[in-house]
Every structure is written in structure tokens, then in C-alpha cells.
Amino acid sequence: MINKSSLKNFIKNGIVVLLIGIISFLLSNLILKKYFYSEDDYFTTQITDFKGGDYFQLVYIGSEYCGFCSDSLHSIVSEIRNEISTQIKVTDYKFYSTGISIDRDPKIGFEFLNKSGPYDEMIIGAGWYNSGLIDYVWHTGAKPFTPQIYIVKKTFFTESAYSNILIIDRDMEVYERLYSIKEAQ
């Protein structure tokens, strides 16, 4: 038989655990909102499935320590992203954006890209060995400096079985490459 005092302790302990859980949940949401945009503000992507298809991608490559990666350039990148995202909606293409920061410190790179974000994908850190830089600069024969803005046409091919993606491959064509603020305007 359960006595009243042990039942009261059980209920009191349960309420304390529940309150701690609720407070933890609320605090974690506040902390996450400090570092991330809300879902409505953050994503510009039109990647709604993984069935492949034709995409335009905006790629911005920069660095916190690049003197040419100014506030005015961040505004221009945002304008370009918003314009492409809006115009692409009336076509059969989809759109997504990628920010690449070649800052070695990922925290600095994340803060830097947030000045011109939001992005659907961020590739941050590793300096000149950054994997995004390898894909978009070293493998395309572009000049290795910042800032750079690319508009890329991609076609993704996928094979899947049930809900598992087995293969993703792509064809990529650099549609436009801008090396300066003057070209971007």
C-alpha cells in the first residue's frame, strides 16, 4: 500500500523533473534562436525532394578578413539571392544558395556568412583547403581570391530504392562568375 507521504514526494519529484525539462526546452530554443534564423527567414531553398532535377545555385565565397568583403557586398549578395529566388519560381528550375567562408575558424566563418545570409548550405573553415573552395575555385580553374560570386546551373540525377537514396550525381556549369563588387552591381 502506498502511503500519502511517499505519494506526495513522488508527485513533488515528478513536478520538479517536469519543470526542469520545460525550462531546459525553453532555454535551448532561446539559445538556438540566437545562432540560427527562424525557419521562415532562414531557408530559400526549393529543394523539396530528392528526385533530382534542374537547379540554379548562388555561391558566395568570402572571408571575414578580406577587405573587399564589405557590408555593401553582403547587401548585394542578399539582393542577388532574393532576385534569383524570386525569378526562378516562374521557371522549371529550382534554386538554392551556398555560402563559403574560407576563414580557418568556423565560428568566425559562420558569423561572417550570417551577414549576407540566409543560406541553404554553408561550407565553413579550413582556409584555402575548404572543400567548397576546392569545388568552385581550384577544380574550375578560377582565380584563387575573395570575394567571388557564382551562379551555377546544376542538374542532379538520383537513383533510389524505397526511401533510401542510393546515388546522387550532378552535371555542373558555371553560368556566371563575378570577381568584384563592380561586376556584382
pLDDT in tens, 47-61: 656 677 888 899 999
Angle at 81 between CA 122 and CA 61, to 5 degrees: 45
pLDDT for 7 equals 55
Do 64 and 112 contact (CB within 8 A), yes or no? yes
Domain edges within the chain: 4-35, 41-184
Predicted local distance difference test score (pLDDT) of residue 141: 84
Cell numbers for 152? 551555377
Residue numbers in the chain where pLDDT is lower than 70:
1-50, 161-167, 179-185
Q: Look up residue 69 and give its three cell numbers.
A: 568583403
Which helix (H) or strand (E) segment holds residue 111: the answer is helix 106-114
Task: Please check whether residue 78 is in contact with residue 99, taking contact to mean a CB–CB distance below 8 angstroms.
Answer: no
Q: Identify the residue whose cell numbers are 528526385.
A: 51
pLDDT digits (tens, 9 = 90+) for 87-104: 888 888 888 899 999 999
Q: How many CA atoms lie within 13 A of 77 on its CB side?
A: 33
Q: State the cell numbers at 133.
A: 573552395
Phi/psi of residue 104, each to 5°?
Answer: -70, -35
What CATH topology corresponds to 41-184? Glutaredoxin (3.40.30)
pLDDT of residue 98: 94
Residue 39 confidence (pLDDT): 47
| pLDDT of the residue at 160 | 72
